[in-house]
Chain A
């Protein structure tokens, strides 16, 4: 019985460690993916004046698809309210592509990158967050 007790706590301890590791990996991968998709859109902005194009639409759709997938995974681990801004900005970006508003799209990309960096900071394990 005593051994069973020890095993229980060892399993709980391992579960906690596993959740912490998985959370760190998922958060880093998801937010880095968002940043990577944003850089691709920025590169596309540099080569074309017109943003109401098939390539740009595909890139924004790709960003939305990746984020939707990652967001559902992140919701298991972080407060939903803390990560809703990126989704809002992506939906704005889709309308900016349709209306060919390049400046607004740039602002949205900058915002998303800023949010992603911020999330990485406050969701990561660092002294600031611990204290």
Chain B
């Protein structure tokens, strides 16, 4: 049994490494060849885990071979548009201003229910609201609504808004995020000063403390509600 435990650990680490090397794409964002590789890898990994008479190398070598193959395919798809079309296909317009494209639907083996379901997923419940819908190579549907159904934007409404910034987490669950603190060009003393200004005393009392470039900050203590405030210390 110990053999199986150790083998499982080895295979798990190798699969983890292979996936890390392959990139961070999620299942829904995968190209067809990536999905195929993922399915094969999942199957390959289980064989040497459970079958003690099979050497671990029999599991590792195919995994590594597939990761190299994936790397080569990615390089080729990036460098050649033709190759990319062959391996990943190309986006297909399924709805145009005239309505549903029946030929495209036949080509992609899609039913009207599939399209309506995808549109609902994008927040549109009627085909009449859609100007264009495109089936992407990863199977997702991108939708461009007709002008009257487009969401209002600040630009459309001619409203001037200040740019917002990504908040940086300085303290999380009582721990100082040293990398983020140096990124914000701050130090421990400045962070403690902010905490004290907001009625705290120690770092350990803080559940979360974030700050952005504009000085907009948010703090929540372990015991208490969260609150936004203007921070004197600007990044």
- Which residues of A come within 8 Å of B, CB atoms? 5, 8-9, 12-13, 15-16, 19, 75-81
Do A79 and B57 touch (CB < 8 A)?
no
Q: Is the CB of B57 within 8 A of A77?
A: yes
Residue of A5, A12, A80 near B64 (CB, 8 A) is: A12
- Give B contacts to A, CB under 8 Å: 21, 52-55, 57-58, 61, 64-65, 67-68, 71
Of all chain A residues, the one with the shortest Cβ separation from B21 is A8
Does A16 lie within 8 Å of B61, measured CB to CB? yes
* A15 pairs with B55, CB closer than 8 A: no
Chain B at the A interface: SS class: helix
Q: Chain A contacts of B52 at CB under 8 A?
A: 80
CB pair B68–A9 under 8 Å, yes or no, is yes
| Contact call B71/A9, Cβ cutoff below 8 A | yes
Asked whether A81 and B53 contact (CB < 8 A) given A8-B21, A16-B61, A19-B61, the answer is yes
B170 CB → nearest A CB, Å: 27
Nearest 10 A/B pairs, CB to CB = A80-B53, A9-B71, A81-B53, A12-B64, A13-B68, A79-B54, A76-B55, A79-B53, A12-B68, A16-B64
Verify B58–A16 contact, CB threshold 8 A: no
A16 and B65 in contact, given A8-B21, A9-B71 (Cβ under 8 angstroms): yes
Pairs across A and B, CB under 8 Å, 22 listed? A5-B21, A9-B67, A9-B68, A9-B71, A12-B21, A12-B67, A12-B68, A16-B64, A16-B65, A16-B68, A75-B55, A77-B55, A77-B57, A79-B53, A79-B54, A79-B55, A79-B58, A80-B52, A80-B53, A80-B54, A80-B55, A81-B53
Question: Who on chain B is nearest to A78 by CB?
Answer: B55
How far is B26's CA from A5's CA once the two chains are assembled, in angstroms?
20
Q: How many Å lie between the Cα of A45 and that of B52 in the bound state? A: 39
CB–CB B57/A19 < 8 A: yes
Q: Report chain A residues within 8 Å CB of B54.
A: 79-80
Residues of A within 8 A of B68 (CB): 9, 12-13, 16
What's the nearest-Cβ distance from chain B to residue A7, in Å? Answer: 11
Chain A residues near B58: list those with CB within 8 A.
Answer: 79
A8 CA to B68 CA in the complex, in Å? 10
- The docked-state distance in angstroms from the alpha carbon of A12 to that of B53 is 25
- Residues from chain B with a CB closer than 8 A to the CB of A15 are 64
- Residues of chain A within 8 A of B21, CB atoms compared: 5, 8-9, 12
Chain A contacts for B71, CB-based, 8 A? 9
- List residues of chain A with CB within 8 A of the CB of B64: 12, 15-16
| Chain B residues within an 8 Å CB radius of A8 | 21
Bound together, the chains give a CA A81 to CA B58 distance in angstroms of: 14
Minimum distance in angstroms from B67 CB to a CB of chain A: 6
Q: Closest CB-CB distance, A79 to chain B, in whole Å?
A: 6
Q: How far is the CA of A9 from the CA of B67 in the complex (A)?
A: 8
With a CB–CB cut-off of 8 A, which chain A residues contact B53?
Answer: 79-81
Known: A19-B57, A76-B55, A80-B55. 8 other contacts (CB 8 A): A8-B21, A12-B21, A12-B64, A15-B64, A16-B64, A75-B55, A77-B57, A80-B52
